[in-house]
Amino acid sequence: MALTAADVARLGALARIRLTDEELAHLAPQLDVILTSVASVAELATADVPPTSHALPLVNVFRPDVVTPSLPAADVLAAAPAVEDGRFRVPRILAEEA
């Protein structure tokens, strides 16, 4: 069943798109090709193919989390340019609001 210019005009009206007669004549065969392509995809789907979200299986590439000892805080703070109350001292970037 070929899509006619009248069908495209109806779709345009539903979408509130004003189309000229030239646009209707140009769009009708293009939309017919699109609808035919979508219909052919629907024919290929079979019951034995499970639905998937990706073409290939996803694999986690991250290493597992392993707790390991870290540097002592005193050693880390000793290398800091400024320390206050046992923490890194950094320049203020936001003004305090009262």
Domain boundaries, the chain: 5-44
Would you state the structure tokens that stand for residue 84, as one six-digit string? 């206050």
Residue with tokens 């004003």: 18
pTM of the model: 0.44
pLDDT one-digit tens code per residue, 22-56: 999 999 999 999 998 888 887 776 777 777 888 88
pLDDT of 97 > 80? The answer is no
Residue 86 has pLDDT above 70, yes or no: yes
The mean predicted confidence, pLDDT, of the chain is: 87
Least confident piece of the model among 14-18, 20-24, 60-64: 60-64
